[in-house]
Amino acid sequence: MPSASARKDAVPRPGGHRKRPPRPDLRALRAELPESAESVVAGYERHLSLERGLSPHTVRAYVGDVVSLLAFVTVGEGDRPARSFEDLDVTQLRAWLAGQRSDGAGRTTLARRAAAARTFTAWAHRTGLLKSDPGGRLAAPRAHRTLPGVLRAEQADALMDASAKGAAERDPVALRDRALVELLYATGIRVSELCGLDIGSVDFSRRVVSVVGKGDKERTVPFGVPAAEALTAWLEDGRPALAGETPGPALFLGVRGKRLDPRAARRVVHEAVAAVPGATDMGPHGLRHSAATHLLEGGADLRSVQELLGHATLATTQLYTHVTVDRLKAIHDRAHPRA
């Protein structure tokens, strides 16, 4: 669960987004679980972390959904009796999701939680904790596949120009912020991947960065001359001022000399984009989508963009990279025999 200070620092999103329901206190829910159910949660947590090698963030999300499910089943509330974990069936799974929907969860959230439940029950059945797999019979509404905001090419240029002007005075934080924005847009990497970079992850001779993505999969992503210049200025003039007496290997640092936190990186991007006239409010994910879109509009093929973004499937890349109508028409005019 995010801290109160983290929620306070979150950047508000403009527009008519529906107010999210309050998040349950998962730590309190987990503390209420019977010992047998807590043992199951701990075993699943070890499986996700050690056997599947998922990131801490992903493990927390999966475990949080399982805690919510098992609290619903084993603790009981009102007229709903408490049951043992071994009695978990598809009826209870559906009732749990129905309760989530009544509390205001959207289609995307319900789809994610249903998928988390199916993954969990499959593991529990495979390891002998459940006699059958009730999740195999669970259906959920399809998530709405929506595209995040995207910068136009000229807005991206304006963003980079503004970041460069901000760093002209050689202030360490401004140098860091310029390098951060340039690298995010140049590579399209995730904010968690950016914050996980070490100095040794960057190869200036080849202008590539080695990124460890989801599932601990490593990929190499190129970046251009502007990003290289911004990184060089940060490493030479900015980072030493923030590193303190015992600098670690992290490429990007916070003001206290520690590895930069993703929340802080998101704030940097939101504030930088806010300075661009007419630009849609966005964070690092918006820059990732913008980079992919501009690559595609510049002639990159979809599979190359998939490799750069680190997507496991092409279908995911198709969500993040949309082709403009003008580009589709140009391809049609060039390639179709009856154009």
Q: What is the CATH number of domain 153-283?
A: 1.10.443.10
The token duo for 14 is 């403009």
CA distance 227 to 225: 5
162: pLDDT strictly greater than 70: yes
Give how far the C-alpha of residue 7 lies from the chain's centroid of Cα atoms, to the nearest Å: 17
CA distance 70 to 35: 12
- HSE value, Cβ hemisphere, 13 Å, CA-based, for 7: 7
Q: Which of 141, 134, 142 is nearest to 73 (CA)?
A: 134
| Amino acid of residue 157 | D
Instruction: Identify the residue with better confidence: 79 or 137.
Output: 137
Q: According to the model, what pLDDT value does residue 328 have?
A: 58
What are the extents of the domains in the chain?
Answer: 4-13+20-137, 153-283
Beta-strand runs (E) in 99-230 = 202-203, 208-212, 218-222
320: pLDDT strictly greater than 70: no
> Is residue 234 within 8 Å of residue 244, measured between CB atoms?
no
pLDDT band at 142 (very low <50, low <70, confident <90, very high): low
Positions marked active-site: 190, 214, 285, 288, 311, 320
| Number of other CB atoms surrounding residue 49 within 10 Å | 16
Beta-strand relationship, 218-222 and 202-203: unpaired
What confidence tens digit (pLDDT) does each residue in 281-312 have?
999 999 998 998 888 888 888 888 888 888 87
The token duo for 311 is 């997507």
pLDDT band at 143 (very low <50, low <70, confident <90, very high): low
Contacts of 54 (CB under 8 A, 6+ apart): 48, 62, 214, 215
11: pLDDT strictly greater than 70: no
Q: Give the dihedral of Cα atoms 96, 102, 108, 110; nearest 10 deg.
A: 10
Q: According to the model, what pLDDT value does residue 325 have?
A: 52
The token duo for 55 is 């990131």
4-13+20-137: which CATH number, 1.10.150.130, 1.10.620.20, 1.10.540.10, 1.10.10.10?
A: 1.10.150.130
194: pLDDT strictly greater than 80: yes
CA distance 194 to 207: 15
What confidence tens digit (pLDDT) does each residue in 70-94 have?
999 988 776 778 888 888 999 999 9
Q: Which of 100, 45, 41 is nearest to 74 (CA)?
A: 41
267: pLDDT strictly greater than 80: yes
The token duo for 12 is 């508000």
Q: According to the model, what pLDDT value does residue 1 have?
A: 36
149: pLDDT strictly greater than 50: yes
> Is residue 309 within 8 Å of residue 288, measured between CB atoms?
yes
Q: According to the model, what pLDDT value does residue 319 have?
A: 67
20: pLDDT strictly greater than 80: no
Minimum mean pLDDT range among 51-55, 207-211, 267-271: 51-55
337: pLDDT strictly greater than 90: no
277: pLDDT strictly greater than 80: yes
Beta-strand runs (E) in the chain = 202-203, 208-212, 218-222
Q: According to the model, what pLDDT value does residue 314 have?
A: 72
Of all residues in the chain, the percent with pLDDT exceeding 90 is 50
Q: According to the model, what pLDDT value does residue 3 have?
A: 40
